Structure 1
Amino acid sequence: MTQSSALPLPPPKERRRLREAASLTRAQLASRVGVTSETVRGWETGRATPRGRKGEKYARLLDSLGDEAEMTPPQDGAVDTGATEPAPRAAVSRRTARARRKAATGDRKRPPAVKDRGRGPVTVPDHTRTPAPDHDRTPLPHGHHVILTERRRTTPSRRPDDAITALAPDQAFDALYAFCAPALVRQTYLLTGRRELARESVERAFQIAWQRWPEVARDRDPAGWVRAMAYECALSPWHRLRPRHRHPEPPPPDTFDRALMDTLLKLPPSYRRTLVLYDGVGLGLPETAAETEASTRAAVNRLAHAREALAERLPELADPETLHWRLVELASTERLRAAKPAVVRKGGERRARFWTRAAIAFTVALIGTTALTVRTAPTHYEPPVPAGETVQGVPPPVAPGPLSESEQELRAKLRKEEQKGPDRLLPQPR
């Protein structure tokens, strides 16, 4: 019977004690695990239970924190910079937790993780893929060290909450951009296969985020907000109408990378996005389904069909772990660099000013046109002139001709009688 390879988790209070002893805030620990600060709060209070790939990564991180505590003995003259309890007490608690975990797991060897080929239906969302631990992965060659996830090793501060609240909006935006932009450019490159379009999509997403900064700053996952907006901009169908889109960009130099990119671009956009989020970025199925605005079952079906299409053309990528690292290498071979955060922020402000002035000019033109129309419009009703009609019963006009005898007699009679009225004015000959 196969035993589980997952590490046992300490109690919720012990989890919080390990984090505080390592001088880590909830936000810093959440960035390492790949979840939100509210999720870490739920794990530490016992309201939620870590499960799936994120739970395994959380357990490994706590285990590593315990190892670091044992390897680093407390010093008498050390100054406590971030932990709420003294260093000797935290070290003792970590040793106790480490001893409990060793007693629970024993000295047995961990069996290898079961590999999901993605060809059958996935019934348990959080256990469809069991990635290898970070320290077991083979390091990439030189130049392939850039990964697709928005993770950065942060240093503990003395008062992190005060530091976060003291940041100005532009400083917070610059920090979010520096944290997410490099990885987002590579992710959008996998979605589109175009380097310039990937950079433009990420810059446009951050410009929209800067315009809606109060909303983004209050969001529980600002990085996910910007990532979803960048994906929407990159996969917009209007790009095909651009003249630049008609000319293909140079493909990757490697033959296998070129075949992988061609296969990715042949997938439907929804399948491609699900595959990049799950196998590339490393999100769980619930998070992937929520970001793609689909149900978990639909996300599972899209992921299974995308893996099957890749494995049909490239059998080497049937292993999800191999697929993950091939996506990382494909994105890392291209030197995709995002612009500076100040440039993106000022570009967004210029764009907002331009469209604001254009809207004001259009409104003024509309008001002027309306006023001119009101001024020149008629003030009363004028019935239209009807079309001409044929008059019945009137004899047609007769052309002049010779007079008859009766008409001649009448003319002579009129000439003989005196004319009543004023005298006629006749011209006099000179």
Structure 2
Amino acid sequence: MTASQFVPARPKPTPLTPGRHPHAQLTPAQLTPAQLTPAQAFDALYGFCAPVLVRQAYLLTGRRALARQSVERAFELAWRRWPEVARDRDPGGWVRAATHEYALSPWHRFRRRHRQPEPPPGDPSGRALLDVLLRLPPPYRRTLLLHDGVGLTVRQIAGETEATTSAAANRLRHAREALSARLPGATAPSDLHRRLTELAATEIPAAAPPPTVRTTGERRDRQWVRTAAVLVTTLTGTTAITLQYAPDHYERPVPRGAAIHGLPAHVAQGPLSERSRALHEALRSHLPQGPHRLVPSAR
């Protein structure tokens, strides 16, 4: 895919901005809410924005699979909140912000698949540019892409990234300084537009068709609902068992034992006296049938 294929033919083409997609059945001019069902409006927005958002996410992450996944997750979230997105002043900007947030999430570093190195672009200049982009801090990288790739103003970038205008301007300045230090001559606006477009137009996977994204999001939502239902049922059962078998009154703990003082010492039995010894011998020598004095009376 060449750079001319990356940007649709327009009087003043802007790189890394939405264009026509083969899955789109309607053009942006036909996006009239009164004439479209929610699914048709979503499919039209997806077909208009998804391909270029995949390329933007690739420039932010340097990973093809993650770029596609970021766009799909962003549109799944948009479909879940479609009443909010449909009424938004800029639905494409809403999805773009969600895509960039997911793509730059720090949690991806803990995934085993994203720990493996990604095959670099085949073009040496594109590989050098991507390497410099990925070395920038994520906020700087996103600001540079939005300004020199998408064409937003500093004030618009500040609103989308939830930063102040001065912070967005400083990020853009530092990003351009780092880019100029490692790639001399690449900071000119026209040259940077062209190089970002050419880099994003190579080896980028195609986005999934809109019905697939909608059904996948709905299936994931159902799974989350089932999981939440199982957890609630488990917690309810555990609580019921606890209430059934747990003690219902306070039981005072048994105090620890204490030593008792003042008792006489235990003394072992001493030797028998002569009288006691004679009595023992008399008892042993007479059988139960002996003298009557030794046998209990039957009366």
How far residue 292 of structure 1 moved from its aligned partner, in angstroms, is 1.0
Gaps of 5+ in 2: 8-15, 284-293
Deviation at 1:142, TM superposition (A): 4.3
> Could you tell me which amino acid in structure 2 is paired with residue 302 of structure 1?
R
Kindly indicate whether the alpha-carbon contact (under 8 Å) linking 1:311 and 1:317 is maintained by their aligned counterparts in 2. yes
Go from structure 1 to structure 2 and tell me whether the alpha carbon gap of 1:143 and 1:278 turns closer, same or farther (over 3 Å shift). closer
1:25-424 residue pairs with structure 2 within 5 A? 142=2, 144-147=4-7, 148-152=16-20, 163-403=32-272, 408=276
What TM-score do you get using the length of structure 1 for normalisation?
Answer: 0.59
- Tell me the distance in 2 between the aligned counterparts of 1:388 and 1:307: 78
Query: Quick one: structure 1 residues 277 and 155, their matched pair in 2 at CA, closer, same or farther if it must change by over 3 Å?
Result: closer
Q: Partners in 2 of 1:318 and 1:156 — Cα distance?
A: 32
CA distance in 1, matches of 2:202, 2:251: 76
User: 1:26-68 deviations in whole A, cap 9, x for unaligned?
Assistant: xxxxxxxxxxxxxxxxxxxxxxxxxxxxxxxxxxxxxxxxxxx
2:186 is paired with a residue of what secondary structure? helix
CA-based RMSD of the aligned residues comes to: 2.6
Aligned length: 272
- C-alpha change, 1:229 and 1:307, in structure 2 (3 Å) is same
Segments of structure 1 that go 5 or more residues without pairing to the other structure are 1-140, 416-423
**Conserved 8 A contact 2:154-2:169:** yes
- Separation of aligned partners in 2, 1:335 and 1:236: 20
Q: Judge conservation of contact 2:3–2:198 (CA < 8 Å) in 1.
A: no
Distance 1:143 1:330 in 2: 9
Task: Tell me the TM-score normalized by structure 2.
Answer: 0.84
Whether the aligned pair in 1 keeps the contact of 2:55 and 2:204 (CA below 8 Å) is no
Contact 2:2 2:201 in 1 (8 A): no
Single out whichever of 142-151 and 281-290 deviates more from structure 2: 142-151
Residues 127-176 of structure 1 deviation map (CA, whole Å, 9 limit, x = unaligned): xxxxxxxxxxxxxx94652031014598797xx68x43121111111111
Q: What amino acid maps onto 2:199 in structure 1?
A: L
Residue 191 of structure 1 contacts residue 265 of structure 1 at CA under 8 Å; is this kept in 2? yes
Give a deviation string over 1:87-134, Cα, whole Å, max 9, x none: xxxxxxxxxxxxxxxxxxxxxxxxxxxxxxxxxxxxxxxxxxxxxxxx
Distance 1:401 1:255 in 2: 109
Q: Which amino acid aligns with 1:145?
A: Q
Match of 1:305, as an amino acid? H
State the shift of 1:334 in Å: 1.9
Kindly indicate whether structure 1 or structure 2 has the higher relative contact order, using CA contacts under 8 Å at least 6 residues apart.
2
| Change in 2 beyond 3 A, CA 1:177/1:144 | same
Offset at 1:396? Answer: 3.5
C-alpha contact (below 8 Å) 2:59/2:200 kept by paired residues: yes
Aligned-pair CA distance for 1:366:
0.7
How many angstroms does 1:399 deviate by?
A: 3.0
Determine the structure 2 residue equivalent to 1:12: none
Structure 1 stretches of at least 4 aligned residues deviating more than 6 Å after TM superposition = 153-157
Q: Are the counterparts in 2 of residues 144 and 332 from structure 1 also a CA contact under 8 Å?
A: no
Contact 2:56/2:200 (CA < 8 Å) preserved in 1?
yes
